[in-house]
């Protein structure tokens, strides 16, 4: 039976992540425009979805779980652009809806609609300030959250690199280290020497000559 191995993980792609992150701009514009066209109040506040989507799109496109470094900075910039354009498009869509409802005629880029926008800003500035404050607060929260994740990812990568450096430097592990109470050096044992009749020479019985035997008998007498 043939075992099917898992495919190798795809490498990190910064350019692919940026390309996906740019999709947050039309997404934010589309969300706020559609909601404003449907008469949803404070639709421009939903421009913060651009900041929420930009980090998710970058991580998906770059094939990396967490953003760090240049990826985080560029994603934040793209998210700020998406939020700004989404807010403007949502506000203009809301004003244009009231413009059409009043029976006025003219396009979005016409002079009549431009005067209507100026009149709307001067008469009811709060309709623009409140959504703007909500967008700023939500965007800051999202950036701070993504920044913490980026710092955590960088610290984890630094810890892994340090561990790999220590393991590859030749330093023995704790399991392979000698115990603290082990003697510094062991006393070498002497070699048994030359073997004679299957036994070490040092353990062989001493052979006495005839002269030594007679001398020993005289001493005993």
Q: Reply yes or no on whether the pLDDT at 87 is more than 70.
A: yes
Q: How far is CA 99 from the centre of its chain?
A: 48
Instruction: Report residue 172's pLDDT band, with 50, 70 and 90 as the boundaries.
Output: very low
Residue 214 is predicted with a pLDDT of 55
Across 55-78, average pLDDT: 86
Q: Reply yes or no on whether the pLDDT at 3 is more than 50.
A: no
- Residue carrying structure tokens 């990812």: 153
Whole-angstrom CA distances from 174 to 167, 180, 183 are 11, 12, 18
Q: Reply yes or no on whether the pLDDT at 96 is more than 80.
A: yes
Q: Which has the minimum average pLDDT: 127-141, 146-160, 167-181?
A: 167-181
Residue 138 is predicted with a pLDDT of 94
**pLDDT tens digit sequence for 182-191:** 455 555 555 5
Q: Which residues contact 140 (CB under 8 A, 6 or more apart)?
A: none
Q: Reply yes or no on whether the pLDDT at 101 is more than 80.
A: no
Instruction: Report residue 205's pLDDT band, with 50, 70 and 90 as the boundaries.
Output: low
**pLDDT tens digit sequence for 157-170:** 666 656 656 555 54
Residue 13 is predicted with a pLDDT of 82
Residue 89 is predicted with a pLDDT of 93
Nearest-angstrom CA–CA distance, 195 and 218: 34
Q: Where are the domains of the chain?
A: 14-161
Contact 45, 131 (CB under 8 A): yes
Across 20-36, average pLDDT: 95
């Amino acid at each position: 039976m043939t075992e099917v191995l898992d495919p190798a993980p795809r490498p990190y792609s910064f350019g692919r992540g940026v390309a996906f992150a740019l999709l947050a701009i039309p997404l934010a514009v589309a969300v706020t425009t559609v909601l404003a066209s449907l008469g949803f109040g404070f639709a421009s506040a939903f421009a913060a979805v651009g900041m929420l989507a930009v980090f998710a799109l970058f991580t998906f496109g770059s094939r990396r779980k967490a953003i760090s470094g240049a990826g985080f900075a560029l994603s934040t910039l793209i998210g700020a652009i998406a939020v700004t354009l989404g807010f403007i498009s949502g506000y203009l869509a809301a004003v244009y809806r009231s413009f059409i409802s009043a029976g006025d005629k003219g396009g979005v880029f016409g002079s009549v609609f431009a005067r209507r926008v100026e009149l709307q800003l001067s008469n009811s500035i709060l309709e623009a300030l409140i959504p703007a404050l909500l967008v700023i607060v939500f965007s800051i929260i999202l950036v701070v959250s993504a920044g913490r994740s980026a710092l955590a990812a960088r610290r984890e990568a630094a810890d892994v690199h340090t561990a790999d450096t220590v393991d590859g430097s030749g330093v023995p592990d704790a399991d392979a280290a000698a115990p603290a109470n082990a003697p510094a050096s062991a006393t070498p044992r002497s070699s048994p020497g030359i073997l004679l009749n299957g036994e070490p020479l040092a353990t062989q019985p001493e052979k006495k000559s005839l002269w030594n035997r007679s001398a020993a008998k005289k001493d005993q007498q």
